[in-house]
Structure 1
Amino acid sequence: MSADVDPDRTPRTTPEILRALVAFDTTSDRPTASIIDWIEDHLATSGVRCSRSHGPEDGKWNLHAIIGPDRAGGIAFSGHVDCVTVAGQDWTSDPFTLREESGRLYGRGSADMKGFVAAMLAAVPDFQTIATQAPIHLFFTFDEEVTCDGARHLMTDVQARDRLPSVCIVGEPTMLQPVIAHKGRLAARLTFRGRSAHSSTPDGGVNAIHAMGRAIVAIENSAARFATAGRRAEGFKPPYTTTQAGLASGGQVLNIVPERATLEIEWRTVPGDDAHAELTALLEELAPVDAAMRHAHPECGIDHEVMCDLPPLALPETYALTDLIRQVTGANRTGHVSYGTEAGIYQRAGVPTIVCGPGDIAQAHKPDEWIARSQLDACDAFLRTVATRACCAGGLPA
């Protein structure tokens, strides 16, 4: 933690808590144990019950707190505690020391999304007064910025303990406007195993880059198919599934037939399209290439691995949660976004979920990331109003 965070003083307001949270470097390649310890200790000062869950990596922890009745049902507020790296970014101040200037709070993760996490924690005393008839769940997750596996492990744990909430709000930065749909994302890595030879006698080798080129053409053709004849989902930009080859590498020197190449690809699917089916179709199209490589030499061929699997989100316009959030925010309409969140994972686990949180996604991941204090103030009011409405008798859908 930064030296200016006093561990003997318990922060209570959202900006005070945000200062403490930003001081933890929770870049996604680092453990989250320290910040989860801090959050759990903070909740303990209010007597809040917590349960931890984790993934296969050491030091990667989720936290689930329940306020009010210790049971399933009620409403959940969810925020991830990891953030993207600051490496290679030109910050004008220490990214892990919160700085306020002209109504803006600067720091890594301030917008995405420690601002919402801070507001969740600041609301706990009021939540304890509100949550008499139905529970309020608080989710704190790891690795949202890379795989969203934290949310998957959390849902497995919550389901095993029979503590699924009835609905959930993921507080990604939307300027407190309700987002009811986002695209899914499937990322995969293809590895092409060839056989080296001198380029003057290429018949003695198997060119991995040539095989990779066939895959790139197939992906390009698939992207064109989506754009011209794919499923349309109005509200998204673009309103169809997209795919691309984003990273490619291979070879050592020009006069050697490359024995290895790798290609990273992604699909961003509109609700209703199946990215796994698209990956299967791509592998089937490449099957003759794979077979030819293996025929040339048994050690050659094409392998694949899924790197990220994020399901799409689609909450009906007519759903009670949509109506509740629209009423509380005063929004005339709901939004669709092309980036992914943990909301699709919660929805797949059986929890209807909406995305609505403070700050602007345009500020996320950038140097001098910031969130407006006015947005945090509005989020404070939003959380308390939503919790009050959701926890009253008949306030939540069955």
Structure 2
Amino acid sequence: MLPTKIDSVMTTIDVSGLFVTNVKSFGAVGNGIADDTAAINAALASGAKELYFPPGNYRHQALTVPSTLHRMYGSGAGSCTLTGIGSPASYTPFLYFNAIAEFEIFGFKLNYNHTTYALNPALHFGGCSDVHVHHVNVAEGGYIGMYFSNCQRVWVEKNKWGTTAHYQCHADTGSGNVKILDNYFTGAAGGHIIHIGGGNEHLVRGNVIDATVSGSFGISLTDSVFESIVSGNLVRTGYLEGIQLTDSFRNTIEGNQIICTGATHTDMGISLSAEGGDVFDNIVIGNRIHECGTTGIGLASDSRLGTKQCFRNLVADNKIFNPNKRTSGGVGCWIYGTLSTSNTMRDNEVDDQASTVQYAVKEYNNGDGNPNNNLFIHNNLRSGARIADALALGGGTVIKAL
């Protein structure tokens, strides 16, 4: 029989743990003047499952978020700000999330000054799993806007970045299945905009990178990343590579658009480089690259630096507009070093409207004694002329037209 009175219903339902904790219930002021550290700490220590921040500007020192919390959210990035204060030790994050499983954070603007806190990350997730970060505006991200170390199953989506002293979004060795989706990166960074170091099954898709990168890269996968995908991103950058893949294997870089801007852009649209590890069985397909510094797409190894190889990679169906526009003598696709072997470059198109490109495809062995052995260079275009093969001995190059 159904209860006939509402209070009878309430007495039959266990609602413990369902209530949201309001940080102002613990004395937080959020007026942009008071130090709310003690109040926020008290709320975090209360055992709450969910912690809500009403509209306001909450100034706080470094905090550790306990594993008992599963949702932390503000009223919205336009009305709720977290601002860093104090003098934390170097590399101490303002918000450290320690070994949390099934955690969600959203609805904040973060203001951790990148000059004052040039060595302090904004958010650091350590040993966490099933993390969802969305609708956060990292206006000032300190050292690193978002840092994930030894984390599994991470979703970073629909966030916005401003300026950081180093990386904007960084996943470290030990992290796996990190998805960085549909974010907007602007402002400036002293390091990579997106960097993933190690692990597998990562997905970087649908991001817009419109940022100034000081001497570094738009998207960088390093340190044995494998079986991961970088697709559908728009990368506008003014310095080095738009997308860099180093010491990694069995990855796909597909359908990205890279626009190299500014007179200071010095390097490649996309690079695959064997430095500390082999680079093999990667696919670079269907990308569009505009006006890069020296080369549209480059595969590289250098026997003078070690024995690591760049081999069995496929570069196909890419379109490259005006590579090396700012300096004459560039190439569309470049295979560099005697340890770059058995790679395939086919059906790529180089549109040389600026008339500065030497070759659609060039092999170069760095003058260290032996030519490359890439047997599958064919059917590439340079301003309408198909190129069958490219072979370099030292610095000399021979081009055969199909």
State the TM-score, normalizing by the size of structure 1: 0.24
Answer 1 or 2: which has greater strand percent: 2
Structure (1/2) with the larger helix percentage: 1
Provide the TM-score with structure 2 as the length reference. 0.23
Q: Which has the higher contact order (CA 8 A, sep 6+)?
A: 1
Larger radius of gyration: 2
